Amino acid sequence: MSQRIIADHGRVFCCLVSAVFASLLAATSVAAAGSERYSDPAVEARLITAENGINPDATSISAGLQLQLGEGWKTYWRSPGEVGRPPSIEWAGSENIKAAEFLWPAPERFTAFGIENFGYRDEVVFPIQILLNEPGAPVDLRARVNLLVCSTVCIPQDFELSLTLPRASGIDTEAAGLISDYAARVPDDGTGTGISITSAHLDDERTALTLTARSNLPFSAPDVFPELGEGTAFGKPDIRVGEGGRLVWARLPILAAASDPAEFQVTITDGDRAATLKPALADVAPAPPFSIAAVVPGLGELAWIAAVAFLGGLILNVMPCVLPVLSIKLSSAVKSGGLSPARVRTGFAVSALGVLAFMWVLAAATIAARGFGLTVGWGLQFQNPVFLAVMLVVLVIFSANLLGLFEIALPSSWQNRLARAGGGAGYGGDFATGAFAAILATPCSAPFLGTAIAFALAGRAIDIAVIFTALGIGLSLPYLVVAVFPQLVRRLPRPGRWMIVLKIVLGMALAGTAAWLFWVLGGVAGQNAALWVGLASLGAVALLSLRRIPGVARVPGAAILAAAALVMAGSLSETDRSPTTIATDWIKFDRSEIARLVSTGQVVFVDVTADWCLTCKANKALVLDREPVASRLREPGIVAMQADWTRPDESISRYLESFGRYAIPFNAVYGPAAPDGIVLPELLSTEDVLKALSDAGSGRVAVRQ
């Protein structure tokens, strides 16, 4: 039987029940008509009818499925959201039934796992309009009911209710009153309630639904329940009322879109009024009736977060992921050993400026991207295959240069001009060293860094500028210290053979970093694209190493090969993207699956990671893949779920944004005692993970299947 609401039928049914109730209220009552009760700690259910029997001329009866839910339990509407399941009834075995229409009273809103769900609590009666096959004949109802009731866990219910109505007259006043009351709550088509939708817009990426509605009477407490197909999940709506209460504007974020969208319709409720409407979609989102001023952080709060950002940048200097950065810094210091203190001071100050310049460029790009509505986050440039190709080419050439395969030097005329200018050669190299160090630090995260980045990306443009500047100052502090105290360079050993060994070590370190970037590029753009970029990079090194070829031919040839590498990274990545691999004993990230698993009493550990996130790899090697955490994650009742953000993934981006996070690593633990998740720090520890798993699973109950 169809479970879709038909507004006209619902309104007629409501009037029919009310009329029957009013006309027979004074009639002599006989034994009440109702099925036996199905009883469970979560729900009590029975089948009720307004009539105690079938009148000789009756062509239909007014029935209802009455549910009385235990404290804290709820069941779902016809469009429940991403997690729930709507009730259903099968009438197999019933006698004298031609058709049965299941009607849906207006729902209310619940929030679980950060997802909005629609349903009912305490008590609900679903009106059922039953047409008889043979008017006036007895009716035998056999209803097999299937529904889902949820609290901190969900329990599927499957039971049978039966009710026989003989030839008789009379009314069950209590049942008729309940059915009439809930039939009045079934949404109409807007005619009786005076509600209409004037505009609705769904963006191209299906990330938000925006609409406006009007009413003949002022709205008092409006709510919006859209339907976009099974599995669609919505976040908390932004609802604003204008024009003296007669206009409602609503924007609902879409957390997960249905793969097979159903017919679009929206139910709007307002106290006792409710209407289900099917608006046409407009090309442009309607403007809100007013703007909500953002809460502007005070100067003290901004200064405090800037200090946190400074600490985060400073800690990046000692993170395991910044070995290439330290190598570049040390190489710069060694080369400055024979220079004057003034030259050392200026060189390191220029390197610090390079770090800050990159942070300022990153801040400007972030502000611009936000202006265009794009997703922004820390380290997201490592999802771009062209950026990775640029980094790979540069690192391959730098490492080959350090290993002595060739020397890159400016023409003698340029060097003479720079020398006569009094600055000496190398300021451009000093600046590039700092900027390159900052670039290589971006795939890393550190304590305090996530907090600072989240504050910046959720704030104003000035917040972004201040936080990124403070972060850059923290990251460039080693340069600034040497710039202030250039005599520190004199403590380095005097130049000698050890410098050749150091140069080889640094070259091998950069070559190792290049190999890591090659692996990351394979994950982002595909193995075919990575192979061609790698071959083009090696070809450029080979060409630069052939001293028999004049420099005027080597350098342009190497530049052409480098440019070809960038072109291939961008073009081949669109056609060759091998599927990401999930580690053994882990399942692929699915936000809706988190709720389903927790609803059955299980604990879910979510790890958002990426090939380019070195801090993520450190967490995995030092904590997640080691005992006792590894064994704990494999225990029955615990599910390890991995979200691979190596490539752009809108569902993962939305998941992170729901926590106010814009960087990884990110780890959270869900369970019956922690349905909204326990968020772990960026740097994991064995104690933190084990405690979160234990806390989230506290009070787990066995679920009846």
Q: Which of 80-84, 185-189, 423-427 is predicted least confidently?
A: 423-427
Give mean pLDDT, residues 632-638: 92
pLDDT at 323 over 80: no
Confidence bin at 425 (pLDDT 50/70/90): very low
pLDDT tens digits for range 288-308: 998 766 556 677 778 888 888
Residue 635 DSSP class: S
Determine the pLDDT at residue 248. 95
The tokens for 482 are 């040497």
Q: Which residues contact 570 (CB under 8 A, 6 or more apart)?
A: 385, 386, 389
Distance CA 474, CA 485 (A): 17
The 10 Å Cβ neighbour count of residue 26 is 9
Determine the pLDDT at residue 679. 92
Give mean pLDDT, residues 87-104: 94
Give mean pLDDT, residues 102-125: 88
Distance CA 76, CA 67 (A): 11
Residue 256 DSSP class: E
- Which of 653 and 143 is assigned the larger pLDDT? 143
Determine the pLDDT at residue 243. 92
- Amino acid letter for position 533: V
Confidence bin at 29 (pLDDT 50/70/90): very low
Residue whose C-alpha is closest to residue 399's, from 292, 530, 515: 515
Determine the pLDDT at residue 132. 94
Confidence bin at 115 (pLDDT 50/70/90): confident
Q: How far apart, in Å, are the Cα atoms of 19 and each of 137, 186, 685?
A: 22, 17, 68
Distance CA 439, CA 381 (A): 10
* Helices 341-371/449-457 angle, 10° precision: 50
pLDDT at 690 over 60: yes
pLDDT at 704 over 50: no
Determine the pLDDT at residue 288. 92
Determine the pLDDT at residue 389. 85
DSSP string over 662-703: -SS-EEEEEETTEEEEEEPPSS--HHHHHHHHHHHTTT----
The tokens for 649 are 């993934």
Confidence bin at 144 (pLDDT 50/70/90): very high
Give mean pLDDT, residues 448-475: 80
Give mean pLDDT, residues 560-564: 86
The tokens for 527 are 């193995």
pLDDT at 503 over 50: yes
| Average pLDDT of the chain, as a whole number | 81
Determine the pLDDT at residue 16. 47
Distance CA 550, CA 541 (A): 15
pLDDT tens digits for range 63-77: 999 999 999 899 999
pLDDT at 426 over 90: no
pLDDT at 624 over 70: yes
The 10 Å Cβ neighbour count of residue 13 is 22
Residue whose C-alpha is closest to residue 701's, from 148, 216, 155: 155
Confidence bin at 410 (pLDDT 50/70/90): very low
pLDDT tens digits for range 584-620: 689 999 887 888 888 788 999 999 998 888 788 888 9
Distance CA 364, CA 368 (A): 6
Q: How far apart, in Å, are the Cα atoms of 642 and each of 256, 601, 668?
A: 18, 20, 11
- Which of 659 and 240 is assigned the larger pLDDT? 240
Confidence bin at 459 (pLDDT 50/70/90): confident
Query: Percent of the chain having pLDDT more than 90?
Result: 33
Write out 460-503 in H/E/C secondary structure: CHHHHHHHHHHHHHHHCHHHHHHHHCHHHHHHCCCCCHHHHHHH
pLDDT at 330 over 60: no
Determine the pLDDT at residue 528. 85
Determine the pLDDT at residue 245. 92
Give mean pLDDT, residues 502-519: 80
Is the CA virtual torsion 34, 37, 38, 40 positive or negative?
positive
H-helix segments, 546-659: 551-572, 591-599, 614-619, 629-633, 650-657
Determine the pLDDT at residue 494. 61
Give mean pLDDT, residues 200-206: 87
pLDDT tens digits for range 251-271: 998 877 776 666 789 999 998
Q: How far apart, in Å, are the Cα atoms of 135 and each of 1, 518, 704?
A: 20, 77, 42
The reported pTM is 0.63
* Run of H or E residues at 62: strand 60-69
Residue whose C-alpha is closest to residue 541's, from 335, 396, 364, 409: 396
Distance CA 560, CA 349 (A): 33
Distance CA 430, CA 411 (A): 18
pLDDT at 320 over 60: no
Write out 173-197 in H/E/C secondary structure: HHHHHHHHHHHCCCCECCCCCCEEE
H-helix segments, 317-410: 323-335, 341-371, 385-402
- Beta strands across the sheet bearing 97-102: 38-39, 43-49, 60-69, 123-132, 97-102
Determine the pLDDT at residue 443. 65
Q: How far apart, in Å, are the Cα atoms of 218 and each of 184, 194, 269?
A: 20, 10, 12
